[in-house]
Amino acid sequence: MFPSSGRQAFGDQLEPGSDEEAAFLRDLYGVDGPTAETDNAVDLTACGTKFGDSRSGNIAFDQFDELHAMVDQLILAMVGSSEYADLNAEWAACMSSEGFPEYGSPVDAIEYFDDFLGIDVDDVEEAERIARSEVEVASADFDCRDQVDYSDGIRSLIQPQLAQVVQRFPQALELG
């Protein structure tokens, strides 16, 4: 329920529905508990606001809506490009040669194992099998990203678009 393990442990010791829990939730979320708008939002109390990723349904700074929309459009354009498809095809070929032909992109591998998050597995052997499989896939993923220069490829695809964002929204980069 609570983001981060330290807060998780503290929150778990509080009596559900108690005044202490309500105060903890108010401090953590700024409201009486996580909602669709605040779940996983980062509390930036020094800034006097909450900030989260608008794409995941969290509160965002209104003045950056146009920026978020532009970044979303640029990312969609990148993932729809033939260069991105070629990069993923190279990675997938490497993964196939490593014994994992079912993954077409790093995102596919991540999403597959994300499906297991939060699922109670009563069978210890099954849980261990899933964990071993995740480590094997992660290791092959790491090796294949290195072999096909995946990070550099993504960087070369996104840098021209990010330059457009910086040019259009220089105020978003100001920290003061």
HSE-CB of 10 using CA atoms within 13 angstroms: 13
Query: What's the pTM?
Result: 0.58
**What is the distance between the alpha carbons of residues 14 and 12, in angstroms, rounded to a whole number?**
6
Assigned token pair, 8? 């998780």
Sequence spans of domains, the chain: 5-60, 65-173
What's the mean pLDDT in 97-118?
Answer: 87
For the cut 50, the answer to whether the pLDDT of residue 92 exceeds it is yes
The predicted pLDDT at position 29 comes to: 58
**Tens of pLDDT along 121-173?**
777 888 888 889 889 999 999 999 999 999 999 999 988 888 888 888 887 76
**Tens of pLDDT along 43-84?**
333 333 334 444 444 444 566 778 778 888 888 888 889 999
